[in-house]
Structures are given as C-alpha cells and as structure tokens.
Amino acid sequence: MKLRRHLLSLLAAATAFGAFSAPAAAADYKAEYRLSIVLAPPTPWGQAAKIWSDLVKERTQGRINIKLYPGVSLIQGDQTREFSALRQGVIDMAVGSTINWSPQVKELNLFSLPFLMPDYAAIDALTQGSVGKKIFQTLDKSGVVPLAWGENGYREVTNSKRAIKSPADLKGMKIRVVGSPIYSDMFSAMGANPTQMSWADAQPALSSGAVDGQENPLFLFNVLKMQNVGQKFVTSWGYVADPLIFVVNKDIWASWTPADQAIVRQAAIDAGKQEIAIARKGLTEADKPAFKDIAAMGVTVTHLTPAEREAFVQVTRPVYDKWKNTVGVALVKEAEDAIAARKK
C-alpha cells in the first residue's frame, strides 16, 4: 500500500512538472509579436524581417508568431521614434536602421561618419568584429536585445537637376535627408540645402519638386521607380552605409524559454546572412549590373574617380572630426584600425 501511494505521488509530481514546464511557458506567450520595419518586402530590408519571422515560426513550431508592421506604422511613421518605442514595449521586435536609432544611441553614428567605409569589406570588418560586439553591448545596456546584423546598403545620391561630380554641383540643391543631425551637417558642408523629412513625406516632395534629390540605398531607386518622380541623375559615391540590426524588446525576450531564445537568435543570424546577400546583389559583381539597369531607364549614372571622391572627403572632414567626439574617439579609432587591417 505504501509503495502504491509512493508511486502515485511520483506520478502526480511528474504530471505536475510536465504541466508547468514547456507547455506552461508557451501558454504565457503572446498570440502575436509585433515586428517594426520601415520598408516592406520586396526590399531587402523587408525581406530581412520576413525571412526572420518565417524561420522563427517554423523552428518554434508556431509557438512564436510574428506579424510585420512596415512603414513603422506602430508609431505613425516616425522612424526616429522606433528605438524608444521598442524599449517601452510599444514594439516587440524590429529590424532597425543604425541611422534611425542613432539619435538615441550615439555610437550608431559611427556608420554615418562620411567616407569611413570605402567598400563592403570595411562594413564587414566593423559589424563582424570587435566594433560590432561593442555596439551590441551598448544596445543591450540601452534596453534591447541585439541578435544579428543585416544591411540596408551604401547610400547613393540622386537628383533631378544635374550630374554630381564635385561638391560645387550640390550647391543650393534641396536634398531630402533622414532625421539624424549628422546628415544635415554633411550636406550643409557640401553646399546643399538639406531638408529633414520622413520617407513617407519624401515621396510626394520628390514628385512635386519640393525637394530636388535624396540619398538612399540603390535598391530603393528600382523598387520605387524614382526616375518617374524626376530623379534623372544618380551618383555612386559610397559616402555612408547603413547596417540593419535584428533586436527584441528585453521583457519579451525574458518571457521566452532559453530554448526559444536560442532559436530566435539563430534565426536572426541566418536571416541576416541571407538578407546581406540580397542587398548586395548586382552591386558587388565586377560589372555592377544594378547600375546598368538604372542607366537603361534613361538615368545618368556617375561613378566618382578617386580624385573626385577625395574632394568630397576633404569638404566633409570637419563633420567627421566633430562627430568623432560624439561617437567616441576610442570607438572610431578601433573602427579605423579594423578597416585598415581588413581583407579586401
């Protein structure tokens, strides 16, 4: 009788343990997690979010379901508020731009220092090395959980007026820039008239001629057919690049089991690798077919010579030096050293 009672008590304990382990944890999960992005698929940025969400759903067997909210619609399209909303829990997850988050995390301005990164190997030297790890540590202290890097790409300048080969060509030109102050500083230094506005406002402004030009990764030119809103000139100058970061709100992260945390992290890493390949397609090949496609639309494409590029480097150097102090002199030095030592 005592043995029977003992076995029954063990069975009850085992049943209770099973009831309160994985199924109980999963029962605490939200039915849907809100993932904020600026650009929807088919852009590389949007694909980053979709690939991540699909991998997570598959690998967690549906325990974690993610819904994409493009156009940063959870915060009424104000992309510079995204990081704050993420920390506050208005947003659960995001694939975010270093530019958009730089007003809240000053170290992210590193990637916007003019002409710091001369090629894709330089970007990789930063994101995949000690600099990237330090930035992730900073983000973690800022209230989010960073998981992986993606890429929005080099930002090329387009306009409706003329080919841009020198700073003088930008003089007086109204250029739409993002809401990070370093961009206003850069274009002012080059003689342009920078106008800060969200991307939602930029498209009608280009159509009406309220602004003459803009700067963005090249894929956006194709997706939005910018030649139809007067953008007849493209200059490839590679002045800054914008890595993307896969992140989760800390409270949401803590609500998941360690096993699911590991799945979400690896899914972000895998999605990031896939997305970077997508973002660079047509731009890293020797003949750069992405530029040929744009030229075929009747657009004038200008590639700066080393001497022409150096003129832009020199005119923006005071901006670089000013913002180096904001980013952190030690971090910028570490970045410069990593780029100098990169494998080309």
**CA–CA separation, 114 and 75 (whole Å):** 29
Domains of the chain: 30-340 (3.40.190.170)
pLDDT at 27: 56
**CA–CA separation, 325 and 109 (whole Å):** 11
Segments in the chain forming alpha helices (H): 2-19, 22-27, 44-59, 82-88, 98-101, 120-127, 130-141, 181-189, 199-208, 218-224, 250-255, 258-280, 289-295, 306-315, 317-327, 329-340
pLDDT in tens, 23-73: 445 658 999 999 999 999 999 999 999 999 999 999 999 999 999 999 989
Strands 241-249 and 144-159: antiparallel
Tokens of 121: 């190997």
Residue 166: other Cβ atoms inside 10 A: 16
Contacts 24+ apart (CB under 8 A), 308-311: 308/165, 308/166, 309/115, 309/237, 311/166, 311/167
Q: How far is C-alpha 281 from the chain's CA centre? A: 17
Strands 33-36 and 66-69: parallel
Rounded to 5 degrees, what are φ and ψ at 11? -65, -40
**CA–CA separation, 4 and 9 (whole Å):** 9
Residues 6+ apart with CB under 8 A from 249: 86, 87, 89, 91, 92, 93, 144, 145
Rounded to 5 degrees, what are φ and ψ at 167? -55, -30
Question: CA angle 172-178-183, nearest 5°?
Answer: 60
DSSP codes joined into one string, 144-198 = EEEEEEEEEEEEEEEESS----SGGGGTT-EEEE-S-HHHHHHHHHTT-EEEE--
Give the pLDDT of the chain (344 residues) as one tens digit per residue: 443 444 344 334 433 434 333 444 565 899 999 999 999 999 999 999 999 999 999 999 999 999 999 998 998 777 888 999 999 999 999 999 999 999 999 999 999 999 999 999 999 999 999 999 999 999 999 999 999 999 999 999 999 999 999 999 999 999 999 888 999 999 999 999 999 988 778 889 999 999 999 999 999 998 888 999 999 999 999 999 999 999 999 999 999 999 999 999 999 999 999 999 999 999 999 999 999 999 999 999 999 999 999 999 999 999 999 999 999 999 999 999 999 999 88
Position 223, amino acid: V
Tokens of 198: 């969200």
Name the maximum alpha-carbon separation found in the chain. 97
